[in-house]
C-alpha cells in the first residue's frame, strides 16, 4: 500500500465483545521503508469522539511488529482508529490483529 501522509484505518469491533473487554491488544506486522511511528486510538464505552485515549510506538526500517495494549475499566466502544505511520512511504501490512486479552470476568 502506498500510504499518504497520516494514513488511517478504521476498524469496527463486535459491539458486545468490545463492551466486555477490559484490556485490548492491537498488533501490526508491517514492512516499512523508513523509521516511523504507529498510533492507535480507542474509545471507552460511552465515548463518541477520539480524544487522548491513544498510544504510539516508534518503529524501525524493515519488518516491524508493533504491539499496543489499552485498558478500560468500563469496556470499549466498537471502533478503533489505527494510524500505521506518519510519513508518506510504501508499506505492507502483513498482519493486523485486534483482540481482547482480559475481559470483565478475568
Q: How confident is the model at residue 88 (pLDDT cuts 50, 70, 90)?
A: confident
What ranges do the domains of the chain cover? 9-103
Per-residue pLDDT of 18-77, as tens digits, reads 999 999 999 988 888 888 888 888 988 888 887 767 777 778 777 678 888 889 999 999
Q: How confident is the model at residue 5 (pLDDT cuts 50, 70, 90)?
A: low
Q: What torsion, rounded to 10 degrees, do the Cα atoms 47, 98, 40, 13 define?
A: -30
CATH class assigned to 9-103: mainly beta
Q: What is the 3-state composition of the chain as percent helix, strand, coil, each rounded to the nearest 5?
A: 5, 60, 35
Please state the φ and ψ torsions of residue 18, each to the nearest 5 degrees: -65, -40
Looking at residue 6, what is its pLDDT?
Answer: 60
Q: Is the pTM of this model over 0.95?
A: no
Grid coordinates 505492507 are at which residue?
92
The H-or-E segment that residue 17 falls in is helix 15-20
Grid coordinates 491513544 are at which residue?
54
Amino acid at each position: 500500500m502506498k500510504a499518504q501522509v497520516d494514513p488511517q484505518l478504521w476498524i469496527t469491533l463486535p459491539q458486545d465483545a468490545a463492551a466486555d473487554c477490559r484490556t485490548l491488544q492491537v498488533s501490526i506486522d508491517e514492512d516499512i521503508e523508513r523509521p516511523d511511528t504507529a498510533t492507535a486510538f480507542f474509545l471507552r464505552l460511552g465515548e463518541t469522539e477520539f480524544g487522548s485515549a491513544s498510544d504510539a510506538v516508534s518503529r524501525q526500517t524493515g519488518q516491524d511488529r508493533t504491539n499496543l495494549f489499552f485498558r478500560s475499566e468500563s469496556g470499549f466502544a466498537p471502533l478503533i482508529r489505527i494510524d500505521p505511520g506518519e510519513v508518506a512511504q510504501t508499506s505492507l501490512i502483513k498482519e493486523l490483529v485486534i483482540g481482547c486479552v482480559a475481559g470483565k470476568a478475568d
